Structure 1
Amino acid sequence: MKLPNFLLAGFEKCGTTSIYNYLNEHPQIYMSPIKEPNFLERDWDTFTGEKKVRIDTLEKYTNLFAEVNDSHRAIGEASPNLLFHYQSSIPRIQQYVPHAKILVVLRDPVTRAYSDYLMQIRDEITGNNRTLIDQLKYSSTKSYTLKKGLYYTPIKSFLETFGTDNFQVFLYDDLSKDPTKFMQEIYTYLDVDSSFIPNTSKKSQIAEVPRSRAVNQLLKTSNPMRDFIASGLRIIMPLELRQKIRSSLVNLNSQGKSAKSMSEEERYALSQYYYEDVLKLQDLIQRDLSNWTPIKLASMNNS
């Protein structure tokens, strides 16, 4: 029975999809064909949330690695929520893959939160559609978008459990600066050929926002108008063509994230929220995080 000997554990909007693809290119690395199996995230037998297709049994999880062969020195999967749900994921990692190496990529929490927020707007999953300022004022203890940038406690818990040999922190800044060098450091950590050069020219999950929110809601959410149109097209048009047309319409209604830049008020408020956590994290991982927004703004205010 083959199971992972390394985990790409998160966080979301920290380059995980690109890194997954770069890992998948390496001939000595096998990556789960499902990018985010999330099997190790929690005990799915006791989960009472929304029921959907998921990798919720050991058999299903093991099947993801059925194609592993002798050429694969490193076997991995990428589940960003392992860090966010550290209280439930740590015991499951200890149970199923106790010797796996774990790597995590961290991004300036202010830009990570804003990127996450834009993704939710794009995918129409914001729920009450509150701005980040409103979330900070009224629901910061409940907002997953905000809480996922509080890195210190989950990182500390993983380090205390797995130690520095089996848990390593990488920075998104380094990925952005020199993706080839960044990946070769990860290849070294995974004990595969570090001279391999991945194709880093293609970026994944490039942030975009809708030109028209009303059009985006029509295309992305279930609503009477969309259901009526879909029922008519279903008779005369195959599924693949319908999906292509819908994707084309979504793309036509999309624009770069620069069209909805973070305001100075948002940047300052988020920086205040994350400041203490970033300072504690910096001491914990012994990495210079002075380029991150919370510390930069604080130093400017103190000068």
Structure 2
Amino acid sequence: MRRSPDFIIIGAGKCGTTSLHRYINEHPDIYLCPIKETYFFIEEPIRRKQKSFGAISDPEDYYALFENAPEKSVIGEISTNYYAYPASAKIIHEALPNTKIIAILRNPADRAFSSYQMRVRGGHEKREFDSIIAEDNRHVVRGFYYRQLLPYFELFDREQIKILFFEDLCRDSVRFVQDLFEYLGVDANFVPNTEERRREGGLPKNKVLHKLLTQKNPIRTSVATILKPLIPLDTRRAMRQKMVKENIYKAKLSPESKQKLIALYRDDILKLQDLIQRDLSSWLR
């Protein structure tokens, strides 16, 4: 009998899904898809562009991912890109009408700034954050939660949808994850290791140094060549990672930028709190 996901965590990105993936994966009664971000339930033209990132198109390849799941386990998948494409709601519903849909959200202004910082660290964003705040900007657009979650609420029963919050995860990670375990129908008394800190954001103190340490360049190649016979690879990697970390500072979202973002998100936040019946007024302050 072909196995398929009992639940899918659809996103949103930069809201704690990496930590959540780790915690869920520890539960003995849950079998989590061995690939995070399969892109399977995304329209084919978009999915085709993600082929280099491991996008799966063949149904047989997708369902084969769950062949090793223990007989009585609860099966799950985490693909934050589903949330970003509204058409995915229909595709998932047609294939798995009874699956549970889970989303984890975060103050959208903070989420946008976190996304921006990640792109800066990766060398893909060079503009100042305040200059790119616009409704259609890639860092901003995924914070319009209402418009991106509405297709799921229109297709799935409300009992099949659970909305989680990053703020709750930070406040009490054990209680947060045990509540999720209860919703999934597995042992809610299981306590995963939540001591390991989630990936922290930040911006480079010295952008030139950060680029030298994180991107391929002649200087980095030359240094590696000199050190190769003297220092083991694992030690060199650890040294480089330490230098990268020490060159990162914890950036803060300016009050001016936050006010701009709140103005953009206000209507969406008000609609979202009506949709999910949760007070989100803290996001508007």
> Given the alignment of the two structures, is residue 56 of structure 1 paired with residue 79 of structure 2, yes or no?
no
- Structure 1 position 288, deviation (Å): 0.6
Q: Tell me, what secondary structure is at the counterpart of 1:9?
A: strand
Letter in 2 for 1:27: P
1:175-254 equivalences in 2 (<5 Å):
175-230=169-224, 240=234, 242-254=236-248
Question: Take 2:270 and 2:116, find their aligned partners in 1: how far apart are those partners?
Answer: 24
TM-score, normalised relative to structure 2 = 0.89
- Structure 1 position 15, deviation (Å): 1.0
Q: Tell me, what secondary structure is at the counterpart of 1:104?
A: strand
Q: Which residue of 2 aligns with 1:133?
A: 130
Q: Deviations over 1:88-141 (max 9, x none)?
A: x12331343332101111111011111111222222222xx22232112xxx24
Q: Which residue of 1 aligns with 2:258?
A: 267
Q: Which residue of 2 aligns with 1:113?
A: 112
Contact 2:210 2:247 in 1 (8 A): yes
- Structure 1 position 22, deviation (Å): 1.1
Q: Which residue of 1 aligns with 2:79?
A: 79
Letter in 1 for 2:255: E
Identity %: 34
Quick one: structure 1 residues 247 and 76, their matched pair in 2 at CA, closer, same or farther if it must change by over 3 Å? same
Q: Tell me, what secondary structure is at the counterpart of 1:170?
A: strand
Structure 2: runs of 5 or more not aligned: none
- Structure 1 position 283, deviation (Å): 1.1
TM-score, normalised relative to structure 1 = 0.84
> Given the alignment of the two structures, is residue 156 of structure 1 paired with residue 150 of structure 2, yes or no?
yes
- Structure 1 position 38, deviation (Å): 2.6
Question: Take 1:39 and 1:222, find their aligned partners in 2: how far apart are those partners?
Answer: 32
1:37-52 equivalences in 2 (<5 Å):
37-43=38-44, 47=47, 49=49, 51-52=51-52
- Structure 1 position 228, deviation (Å): 4.6
Q: Deviations over 1:60-94 (max 9, x none)?
A: 3223323211241x11111112111122x123313
Question: Take 1:159 and 1:178, find their aligned partners in 2: how far apart are those partners?
Answer: 27
Q: Tell me, what secondary structure is at the counterpart of 2:109?
A: helix
Q: Which residue of 1 aligns with 2:279?
A: 288
> Given the alignment of the two structures, is residue 32 of structure 1 paired with residue 33 of structure 2, yes or no?
yes
Q: Deviations over 1:261-301 (max 9, x none)?
A: 11111111111111111111111111111111xx22xxxxx
Q: Which residue of 1 aligns with 2:102?
A: 103
Question: Take 1:172 and 1:209, find their aligned partners in 2: how far apart are those partners?
Answer: 21
Q: Which residue of 2 aligns with 1:299?
A: none
Contact 2:40 2:55 in 1 (8 A): yes
Contact 1:86 1:157 in 2 (8 A): yes
Structure 1: runs of 5 or more not aligned: 297-303
Runs of 4 or more, structure 1, over 4 Å off, are 227-242
